[in-house]
Each structure stands twice: as C-alpha cells, then as structure tokens.
Amino acid sequence: MSIRLTTEQIERYSRQMMLRELGGKGQIRLRQARVLVIGAGGLGSPAAFYLAAAGIGTLGLVDRDQVELSNLQRQILHWTRDIGRLKVESAKEKLSELNAEVEITVYPARLEQDNAINILAGYDFIVDGSDNFPTKFLVNDTAVKLGIAFNHAGIVRLQGQTMTVIPGKSACYRCLFKEPPPPEEILSCQQAGILGAVAGTIGSLQATEAIKYLAGFEEGLLTDRLLTYDAKTMKFHDVEVGRDPNCGACGNAKLGDSTISTTA
C-alpha cells in the first residue's frame, strides 16, 4: 500500500519531516501506525497530545475514570469544563481538535486479565501510562505475549522512571521487577503526591520513544535500561537492565495464561 502525503500534511509536519532521522518516510510510517495509550491521566495526557500532534494514524485510549477536579493539576487533556465526563471522551475531543486526521478509538474500561489481549492486539506500540502495579505487570505480560513493543513509565512525588521493551529483543518490566510489590508498600499519587510537570516530562519521553520506534530510528531507545528522573536534584540516571533467563514473562519460566498477572 503506497501512501502519499498531501500538501497540507507536508506543511503540518514540516518541522519534524526536516529531521534527517524522520523525513517523509518516517512521517508515512507514523501515519500508518497504531498506538495504544493506557491511561488518559498524568502520563497519557502529554503522551497522547504529542502523538496526535506528530500524526500517528490511529490512537487508542484506555481509561474508565471520569474527570475530577484534583486531576486537572497534571492531566492536561482535561479542562475545568470536563469535570464529570469520561476521560476518554474528554481526551478524544481535545486530540481531534488538535489533529482531525488521527483516528481515535476509545475504551472506557479498566484493563483486566480478560480484556487485555483483545484491547492490545493489533497495535504497533503501547504507551503504558497506568497508575498501578497490577496494570503495569498486565501490560508487560500481555505485550510480551503478543510481541508488541511498549514503553513503561511510573511517577511519584518529584520522581519518574521509564523504560522501553521490545519483546524478544530486550529485557522486559518483569525481568527487572519480578512481582508487584505488596499493597502496603505502594504509594499512590493520591497518598504521595505528584508534581504535574514531572508527569509532563516523563509522558513526553514516552511519546518520544513511541515516535522513534515507529518512525524507524531505534538507535538509543530506552531498551535494556531504566531511565530515572529526579526533579528535586534535577538529575537523570540510567540503570542497566539485563534479560532474566528465568523471567516469568519473557524467559524460560513463562507464566501460564491463568497466572499471567494479578488483577487489581
């Protein structure tokens, strides 16, 4: 299938098409790409905005929540007038106004064991902007099983972390963290707080990883390493991550379907 860009598309995307790494070829690849964003919140907002602006062909959005006043400090897809609306509907409206060419599919659902494969299948890349460990493990295990590349991220207080997984090629999230932490050790945004701009930084990195992967300039992707960001000291660090041959998701000891992950 050959796709040509219109004059208007060439103008809209001109500043990124000028990049040697992307070019017209990369732009067409983005136009043909399908990206699923899990969570239309603090991470999903900046990620989805940049992906829509960059001309991704199809964007899927998964979130079952409604917009609350306390979301607006960081979840920039949603505005004051959206309080009470489904986040996926509020998000779809903003993204369509930004770029009507992007096809947007919404899933007003929580990602669970029994719908994960159906929702994830057919996407080329997944941006995990979920806010809880069971979902992060479920995304990892399902994406590894389906062979879909994805970017993991987490944020709390003034810190964030992110890592990209290419199944079969690089270490996965479970290679690094093995199992979800016990509930009593988990601090949520609600309990620990989060600076909105930190979510913006990490969500933007997630979009960058997706665009690099999809446009075909994979050099320097965040594979086999976890990037950590501390806004308090304003420092980024790289932690090397190796593939675990006994990993429950991508190693020899693969999990059976019934134990693929826990549900929240």
Positions in the binding site for Zn ion (CB under 5 A):
172, 174-175, 247, 249-250
Residue number with the smallest Cβ distance to Zn ion: 247
Q: Toward Zn ion, which CB reaches closer, 126 or 247?
A: 247
Output phi, psi for 250, to 5 deg.
-115, 0
The least distance separating Zn ion from the CB of residue 206, rounded to whole angstroms, comes to 20
| Closest separation in Å from C-beta 170 to Zn ion | 9
Q: Which two tokens stand for residue 123?
A: 């996407």
Q: Are 53 and 101 in contact (CB under 8 A)?
A: no
Min CB(250)–Zn ion separation in Å: 3
> Concatenated DSSP letters for 197-241?
HHHHHHHHHHHHHHHHHHHT--TT-STTEEEEEETTTTEEEEEE-
- Is the Cβ of residue 216 or residue 245 nearer to Zn ion in the bound state? 245
Q: How far is the CB of 176 from Zn ion (least distance, A)?
A: 8
Which residue, 73 or 262, has its beta carbon nearer to Zn ion?
262
Q: How far is the CB of 252 from Zn ion (least distance, A)?
A: 10
Under a CB-based contact definition with an 8 Å cutoff, are residues 208 and 171 in contact?
A: no
Burial label for 220, CB within 10 Å (0-12, 13-18, 19+), is exposed
DSSP secondary structure of 147-183: T-EEEEEEEEBTEEEEEEE-TTTS--HHHHH-SPPPG
Residue 122 or 242: which CB sits closer to Zn ion? Answer: 242
Q: Given the complex with Zn ion, which of 174 and 225 has the nearer CB atom?
A: 174
